[in-house]
Amino acid sequence: MAKTKHRVLSKSQTTITLEPPLNSSCSVPVSILSSIVLNDSIETTLKPEKQQIKILPRKNLLTRSEKVEKKIVANLDHLFLVVTNFPSFNLMNSAKMAIRARNENIPFTVIINKVDHSNVNESFKKKVKALVPFDVCGETKDSKKFKVVQVSLHDDTLMHNLSSKIREIALTSENSEVSICLIGQSGVGKSSLINKLIPSASQKTGKVSTRYKKGRHTTRESRSFEFKICGDNKKKVFIIDTPGIDSFGLESLRCHELAKYFSEWEEINQQNFFCKFKDCRHDCEPGCGVQNFLINLKNDSENFEHLYRRLMLWRKLMFTINKKNVENNRS
């Protein structure tokens, strides 16, 4: 019995591309096709009279929810959360993507693209930092996982930095095959970046409407491309393009998912800044540990601002969850 492992390189509603391709006598049954997700590992077993196809267990799965949950991509080693301010930046939407990644234990890097554009200014870059967890104890192992990289399609040095980042992720990974997915609103430049990194990719790119500052959906199909890292041929790196996600939707978002993404509150509490209340809003409650910690940072403007923005984002997300709960209880 010959067993072969295949990687799903692309997937649409009706078609699928596998690497290595299926044996000519095999096909993927429609019943399985709908369960397959981009970057799945599929095992085929050729028996004399029939074929067997199964999806191997996933190490993680990125989903978004509208009315129903939609699976985007599986088995990621790293996520590039691509943001820019042309089209306009949507913090809540990006935060939702980051929360999902965090909860699936997928390390992510925020990629600020189009730094050549005047909208991508310092105040915008500060806003973006709210996506990156605050590092309570200095350079911890975890904090290294969440970084911000600035890039522009029109700047070779910055593009080189992005390639180096990919190389670093690949070389520090224990896996021989490393999958990195680009995710973000449409028009942020995901496909353009991939085309620049892997010229053979030739992904379609779109224009950002100046009037609405919104990107158009040009990438309808998700697709994975092999990225060659120089000097090391043992590692296989796959860079994955996804369609723009303008509404990530987290209808099913729960408080415990927020807790994992905002793990700094727990860390602050462990450093003796205990909140007195179990359900503290970290607002103006007397004796709130997070507020006390924040006050202690007053002379450190950069850290103060970062933590303050994280706090604001957390409150906004909590507010959304609580509002939803109240609405659900009413109906």
Q: Site residues (CB under 5 A) for Zn ion? A: 275, 280, 282, 288, 290
Q: Among residues 284 and 326, whose Cβ is nearest to Zn ion? A: 284
Q: Among residues 193 and 275, whose Cβ is nearest to Zn ion? A: 275
113 makes contact, choosing from Mg ion, Zn ion, ligand GDP, none, with CB < 5 to 8 Å by partner type, with ligand GDP
Q: Among residues 200 and 301, whose Cβ is nearest to ligand GDP? A: 200
Q: Among residues 182 and 268, whose Cβ is nearest to ligand GDP? A: 182
* Contact positions vs ligand GDP (CB under 6 A): 113-114, 116-117, 152-154, 184, 186-192, 205-208, 215, 218-219, 244
294 makes contact, choosing from Zn ion, Mg ion, ligand GDP, none, with CB < 5 to 8 Å by partner type, with none
Pick the binder of Mg ion from 84, 219, 222, 291 (CB under 5 A): 219
Q: Among residues 223 and 282, whose Cβ is nearest to Mg ion? A: 223
Q: How far is the CB of 136 from Zn ion (least distance, A)?
A: 14
154 makes contact, choosing from Mg ion, Zn ion, ligand GDP, none, with CB < 5 to 8 Å by partner type, with ligand GDP
Q: How far is the CB of 71 from ligand GDP (least distance, A)?
A: 20
Determine the residue type at 111: I
114 makes contact, choosing from ligand GDP, Mg ion, Zn ion, none, with CB < 5 to 8 Å by partner type, with ligand GDP
Q: Among residues 187 and 289, whose Cβ is nearest to ligand GDP? A: 187
Pick the binder of Mg ion from 84, 103, 109, 191 (CB under 5 A): 191
Residues interacting with Mg ion, by CB under 5 A?
190-191, 219
